[in-house]
Amino acid sequence: MSPAHDHQRDPIGACAAIAIAFLGLCLVRISVPGDPYFDEIHYLPAARELLGGGAYLNREHPLLGKELIALGIALFGDHAWGWRTMPALAGAGALFAFSRAAWFATASRFAAIAYAILLASGFALFVHSRIAMLDVFSVAFFALALWQCAAAVREPETGRRRLAVAGVALGLSMAAKWNAVPLAVVPGLAFFAARLAAGRRRLLTSRRGIPVPGLSLAEAAIWLGLVPLAVYWLTFLPAYFLSTGALPANGFVALHREIVALQESVVEPHPYQSRWAEWVLNLRAIWYLYEPIEGAHRGIVLLGNPLTMLLGLPALGWAAWRALAGERAALAIVVLYAVSLGFWIVVNKPVQFYYHYFLPSCFLLGALALALDALWQRGRRGLAAGTLAASLALFAWFYPILSAAPLADRHAFVAWTWLPGWR
């Protein structure tokens, strides 16, 4: 938690407006292409089978993301709008939740609004909010957990309710995609470390001291440890009732061995594969789509905003320095980035892709929001606001190849492929 900045007014209205505008922009041409593209070809058949109680497909990932895609199909129909509306809602929800987390962590109106703008114009959240993949659901639920944890620390009188919601959200985040698993333990470990540092004699049962006075460590372990695991398991209930490949009553542990084996079995090289150093430097893009559709060439590329992905790196270094000086919001950002990226450095997954950087990039932009807030508070407002304006300008420039807009011809992509790895 950072100290409050002179009791600034809560920017909830502004953050909600940015999230709503972001959702509206996501819905423009969301039905293009009308056929499944990129990894939708894996997740849509699995979602359809869940709806019909058929076969258990796409067993290498947990069920929740596919359940939510299936919900969209059930509500809106088995077409492009039905496939992609739930991801769009999740993306807008993630944007709002991250901005609320920033507000409660910093009590700075500018930091929360800046973070919302940086995420909205950072490319990754926008692209994943317009495709029926699993990543955006995992990110959205983890953002909700961060919001609730930060609010519990800032307003401990609501701590029990907030941590209960956070526990549910952590379970749902893991159940959408395993990328969140290493991060899901961070809130509980942070609570333990803070209570240990407070020097309470009755470590497990004392309700006094940071981070949330009024809650004991034992109770926090329930909300942030047991509840996420229970919620995670509950999301697999439909798998026990499918007609083909259903889980037996004692098959939950065996399924997870199968998931690990399937994740580690993909070893064949892929033209779009990359490694973590290329993600950090924004060197390798993925073209989710590039083909003639509805009378024009159209493309959708996943890469990071060329400005903010690079500015975020010195901002992260600054945040690490501020963390050493005792600024807890900066410490949280650094730890979350290190854990989420470090997982991909050490995990046994031979073939990796830039979309694995989606969640770490959100924390990188959080570090940049904190750095811009520091500039704003010190009176260098032109530089802080100019950075946000430049981020929005780059988003506008790249918007045609983020949103499947009609392009001039089949060679039009070269206007945006500034680096060889973006082609």
Q: Note the pLDDT of residue 2.
A: 61
Q: How confident is the model at residue 265 (pLDDT cuts 50, 70, 90)?
A: confident
Q: Note the pLDDT of residue 418.
A: 94
Q: Is residue 2 part of a domain?
A: no
Q: Is residue 128 part of a domain?
A: yes
| Residue 3 reports pLDDT greater than 80 | no
Q: Is residue 54 part of a domain?
A: yes
Expressed as residue numbers, the domain containing 94 is 12-422
| Residue 143 reports pLDDT greater than 90 | yes
Q: How confident is the model at residue 201 (pLDDT cuts 50, 70, 90)?
A: confident
Q: Note the pLDDT of residue 200.
A: 64
| Residue 199 reports pLDDT greater than 80 | no
Q: Note the pLDDT of residue 5.
A: 57
Q: Note the pLDDT of residue 264.
A: 83
Phi, psi for residue 292 in degrees, rounded to 5: -70, 125
* Interatomic CA distance for residues 145 and 164, integer angstroms: 9
Q: Note the pLDDT of residue 21.
A: 98
| Residue 106 reports pLDDT greater than 60 | yes
pLDDT (average), residues 330-359: 95
The answer to whether 119 and 358 have CB atoms below 8 angstroms apart is no
The answer to whether 232 and 252 have CB atoms below 8 angstroms apart is no
Share of the chain above pLDDT 90, in %: 88
Which range has the worst mean pLDDT, 18-27, 255-264, 315-324? 255-264
Q: Is residue 1 part of a domain?
A: no
Which range has the worst mean pLDDT, 14-23, 141-150, 195-204? 195-204
The answer to whether 370 and 333 have CB atoms below 8 angstroms apart is yes
Q: Note the pLDDT of residue 336.
A: 98
What lies within 8 Å, CB to CB, of 89 at 6+ separation is 23
For 384, other C-beta atoms within 10 Å of its C-beta total 21
- 270 Rama sector, left if φ>0, alpha if ψ -120 to 50, beta otherwise: beta
Q: What pTM did the predictor assign?
A: 0.96
Which range has the worst mean pLDDT, 51-60, 86-95, 394-403? 51-60
- Which residues lie across from 244 on neighbouring strands? 55
Q: Is residue 46 part of a domain?
A: yes
pLDDT (average), residues 402-409: 95
| Residue of 222 and 294 predicted with greater confidence | 222
Q: Note the pLDDT of residue 108.
A: 97
What's the mean pLDDT when you consider all of the chain?
95
Q: Is residue 340 part of a domain?
A: yes
Q: Is residue 3 part of a domain?
A: no
* Interatomic CA distance for residues 212 and 149, integer angstroms: 9
pLDDT (average), residues 120-130: 98
pLDDT (average), residues 41-66: 95
| Residue 254 reports pLDDT greater than 60 | yes
Q: Note the pLDDT of residue 1.
A: 60
Tens-digit pLDDT profile for residues 305-334? 999 999 999 999 999 999 999 999 999 999
What lies within 8 Å, CB to CB, of 118 at 6+ separation is 308, 365, 368, 369, 388, 391
Q: Note the pLDDT of residue 125.
A: 98
pLDDT (average), residues 39-67: 95
Q: Is residue 235 part of a domain?
A: yes
Tally of domains in the chain: 1
Q: Note the pLDDT of residue 6.
A: 61
The number of CA neighbours under 13 Å toward the Cβ of 33 is 20
CA dihedral 19, 145, 81, 30 (to 10 degrees): 50
| Residue 4 reports pLDDT greater than 70 | no
* Interatomic CA distance for residues 359 and 421, integer angstroms: 21
Which range has the worst mean pLDDT, 89-93, 185-189, 207-211? 207-211
- Tokens (6 digits) for 392: 């929005």
